[in-house]
Amino acid sequence: MNAEMRPKHVGSRVPRREDPRLLTGEGRFVADLMGPGTLHLAIRRSEHGHARIMRIGTEAAAAMPGVVAVVTASGLAGALQPVHATSRMPRYQATATRALAEGKLRYVGEPVAAVLATSRYLAEDAAEMIEVEAEPLPELSDPEAAALPDAPVLNPGTSSNILVERVFGRGAVEEVLMGAAVRVGGRFRFRRKAPVAIEPRACLAEVEKGSGRLTLHSSTQVPGILRDALSEALDLPGHLIRVVAPDVGGGFGGKASLYPEELLVCALARRFRKTIGWIADRLEDLVSTSHGFDEIVDAELGLDADGGLAALTAEILGDVGAGSIYPWTAALEPVQVASFLPGPYRLPAYRGSVRAVATSKAPTGPYRGVGRPIAAFVMERLMDMAAARLGLDPVEIRRRNLIRPEEFPYKIGSGIVWDRSGFHESLEAACKAGGYAALREEQAKLRAEGRKVGVGIACYAELTGIGSRISAAPGMPINTGTETARIELDSTGAVTARFGVASHGQGLETTLAQVIADELGARLQDIHIVQGDSAAVPHGTGTYASRSAVLAGGAATLAARTLRAKVTEAAAHLLEASPGDLEAHDSRVMVAGTDRGLSFREVARAVYSEMGRFPRDARPELEASETYDPYFGTTASATHLAVVEVDPGTYGVRLLRYVVAEDCGKMINPMVVDGQVHGGVAQGIGAALLEEVVYDERSQIVTASLVDYSIPTAAEIPRMLVHHVESGPAPTLGGFRGMGEGGTIGAPAAIANALSDALGISVQELPATAERLFRATNL
């Protein structure tokens, strides 16, 4: 069989290698590492939205059974430096990430004091006995009020609550808008969400007594970022700190930042020379894990008489919570809304102005989709509003405005450049798969029977696998644009490949092995993937921003090719053949077209163990380390089609059909891709219909349980039809495009459009709860 005809691992539905341990309860999550002798940390959190700390009484807590220590900020002096998420962005005000509050309380749930005790039960008992006396200050619950010049300032060291202010755009927006044949617009409100990974955050720090070496096991997406931040905060060289993300029970962005609890367990493990663990309960997770999607957008779109887009203007106000989360900054989400608002459309004039405003709520951070679910919601509603005014079908107005294949690369008004992506192909594929024309006929029939059925379309584009040209968070001064792979063939012929990424459900142990198997010519079972460990490579960040398939897949390709050349060279010497006549497959190097060859094991044995097989000065090194930088990144895009029915009595919503047509380039494992789309859509459905973190006017969070913050179950999620489009080769190595977030980006917009269509209203606030739908329809 020649090389082209041999079956490839990339593109195959390879069963996941993670599954056997996870299916049998043999996975190792952080909470599973809390062995006997571990001291448990419990945290006393702020009950105030905004207050000045007057006194923290710890005596009663310290006297409780099993308590080893009670710690406040003053007790940590000298042990930890605060960490600041800095930015290159002008008009940015940095705020500190601290282990425990100092001076002021800024949100309900902010850590105030900590208890170390011999069990979690005893630690929590004692935490309740800590007396926190605080003088209430005016809460900043409404982001518009917090942005006013005379508002009380939440963060010491800042001059106002506006942490970032920025304007993007091109063209004479006002002039074009004034001259537009049709103008549509209004206020759009996307309400705050919680990521809700089913595993709550947890971390455990241990110090090797002999060397003083610190290991932090954390349920995190970003072990490399944490290692580097801890090195600064603890003033320790990196070789004394290792951050390990073992099995991680979901992240969705909520585990992609540095948290106070991680600083605390590290500082305390060093002080007490004990293993110290913390496991969040669900209440803590809901009040302290970064929230997302809390945006107000005032937008107006102008079109010509044929439905061609002319100009778009938007004022974006991000309610970012108490301050910047490390390392992403408070700019992350609101700036991304402005960056992606023009979407996949030809739009000559655009202006997006952004303000990120601090409020007395939990800090916001990355959540699956970051900014783009809001951008797509606003833009796709505007497209439907415009279509209705012009008497155009929603599909037709999109056909007229989507960037055409010959127009790529296309720079949108915010400066982002789309490379060739299947914008039109996805729209047509979704309509075909969903039976759009027949759907409209069926809808007319059902409507005649009095049923409230609606069809919604949403198109979006996103930038994935972002390289070093720009940071994954705007203005953030850390490099998220490269990924290193180190691959070695050991003396038994087995392959170990190390990466800086950190899988938390994506199946990277399988997909990266698939890439290496093809590029190196090794059997899957001979390849071991090391990830989720800051010690794996000199610099790594982790898994977020739809980057791992593109960046780690690219690095794996490069390193595997280099190693393959080395193994082939060594085999050529042993076989007395020309390297050009050899090919590697199934962990063997063969003389092409013959049955002569050597297994990787035989090559490795000759290189490492059999003395004298190679000349002294020509001993092969069977390892390779390569770094991949996609520089710009690559476009991924999709069209979502949703069919909904609203119960006219209860305003309950049922999803009747859901179709996704998406272009993620070449798929490594189609089964994994489908799973990512399904999961993303489910989160988008939750965001559209159910999920809302609610703070009252005193900044008290009233949705701190899974009863009050409700996420979709199997009964609310419809069967999804996923159609893959491959418009052309992606500019990335391997041809992969990122696709971990897309489902969440398209779904809220498609559902908002479908609900608007069903009820003859304009849904401009999400989640579209039954109450909001009733009010919009009747009041």
Among 55, 209, 616, 719, binds another protein (CB under 8 A): 719
- 15 is a site residue for another protein (CB under 8 A): yes
- Residues 278-297 touching another protein, rule: CB under 8 A, are 279, 281-282
In angstroms, give the least distance from the CB of 34 to another protein: 8
Establish if 197 lies at the interface with another protein (CB under 8 A): yes
Nearer to another protein, 459 or 681 (CB): 681
Residue 672 near another protein by CB under 8 A? yes
* By CB under 8 A, residue 31 contacts another protein: yes
The residue with tokens 């020509």 is: 618
Chosen residue from 584, 681, 687, 755 binding another protein by CB under 8 A: 681
Estimate the crossing angle of helix 670-689 against helix 742-759, to 10 degrees. 40
Instruction: Identify which of residues 232 and 708 has a Cβ nearer to another protein in the complex.
Output: 708
The closest alpha carbon to 255, from 300, 210, 290, belongs to: 290
Give Cβ neighbours of residue 437 (< 8 Å, ≥ 6 apart): 431
When binding is defined by CB under 8 A, the residue of 1, 448, 618, 714 that contacts another protein is: 714
Q: Of 10-18, 163-171, 339-347, 514-522, which part binds another protein (CB under 8 A)?
A: 10-18
Going by C-alpha positions, the residue among 415, 368, 545, 552 that lies closest to residue 473 is: 545
CB atoms within 10 A of CB 175: 11
In the complex, least distance from residue 714 CB atom to another protein, rounded to whole angstroms: 4
Binding mask 113-152 for another protein (x = CB under 8 A): -------xx-------------------------------
Sign of dihedral through CA atoms 578, 580, 581, 582? positive
**How many residues appear in the chain?**
779
Kindly report the backbone phi and psi dihedral angles of residue 146, in degrees, each rounded to the nearest multiple of 5, phi listed first.
Answer: -65, -25
Nearer to another protein, 100 or 722 (CB): 722
Q: Which stretch binds another protein (CB under 8 A): 18-26, 68-76, 175-183, 460-468?
A: 18-26
Cα four-point dihedral sign 504, 509, 514, 518: positive
Closest distance of CB 680 from another protein, Å = 8
Q: Which of 249, 327, 366, 554 binds another protein (CB under 8 A)?
A: 249
Size of the site for another protein (CB under 8 A): 56
Q: How far is the CB of 677 from another protein (least distance, A)?
A: 8
Is residue 184 classed as helix, strand or coil in its secondary structure?
Answer: strand
Which span sits near another protein by CB under 8 A: 277-285, 371-379, 403-411, 771-779? 277-285
Q: Does residue 717 touch another protein according to CB under 8 A?
A: yes
Q: Which stretch, 16-24, 238-246, 256-264, 270-278, contacts another protein (CB under 8 A)?
A: 16-24
Closer by beta carbon to another protein, 330 or else 681: 681
Residue from 6, 8, 20, 609 that binds another protein (CB under 8 A)? Answer: 20
Task: Name the residue type at position 404.
Answer: R
Contact 184, 313 (CB under 8 A): no
Sites for another protein among residues 691-710 (CB under 8 A)? 705-707
Residue type at 719? R
> Could you say which residues in the range 734-753 bind another protein, by CB under 8 A?
743
556 contacts: CB under 8 Å, gap ≥ 6: 485, 487, 497, 499, 512, 515, 516, 519
Among 140, 248, 582, 638, binds another protein (CB under 8 A): 248
Question: Which CB atom, from 309 or from 690, has the smaller least distance to another protein?
Answer: 690
Contact partners, residue 400, CB within 8 Å, separation at least 6: 306, 307, 308, 392
Q: Is the sign of the CA dihedral 372, 472, 228, 81 positive or negative? A: negative
The strand pair at 623-628 and 483-489 is best described as: antiparallel
Looking at the Cβ atoms of 155 and 503, the one nearer to another protein is: 503
Comparing C-alpha atoms, which of 746, 693, 756, 747 is closest to residue 718?
A: 747
- CB of 27 vs another protein, minimal distance in Å: 5
**Edge-to-edge strands of the sheet including 623-628?**
527-530, 495-499, 483-489, 623-628
Is the Cβ of residue 214 or residue 681 nearer to another protein in the bound state?
681
Phi, psi of 661 (to 5 degrees): -120, 120
CA angle 318, 322, 325 (to 5 degrees): 85
Q: Between residues 112 and 196, which has the closer beta carbon with respect to another protein? A: 196
63 three-class SS:
coil
Binding mask of the shown chain, residues 501 to 540, with x at each position contacting another protein by CB under 8 A:
---xxxx---------------------------------
Residue 682 sits in the site that holds another protein (CB under 8 A): yes
Distance separating alpha carbons of residues 41 and 44, to the nearest angstrom = 10
153-166 burial, b at 16+ Cβ within 10 Å, e below that, comes to ebbeeeebbbbbbb
Residue with Cβ nearer another protein (13 or 52): 13
Q: Is 16 an interacting residue with respect to another protein (CB under 8 A)?
A: yes
Q: Which of 75, 109, 200, 665 forms a contact with another protein (CB under 8 A)?
A: 200
d(CA 34, CA 449): 60
Tell me if 675 contacts another protein by CB under 8 A. Answer: yes
Show the site string, 451-490: x = touches another protein by CB under 8 A, - = not: ----------------------------------------
β-bridge partners, 53: 134
Q: Which residues bind another protein (CB under 8 A)?
A: 15-16, 18-27, 29, 31-32, 120-121, 196-200, 247-250, 252, 279, 281-282, 504-507, 671-672, 674-675, 677-683, 705-707, 711, 713-715, 717, 719-720, 743
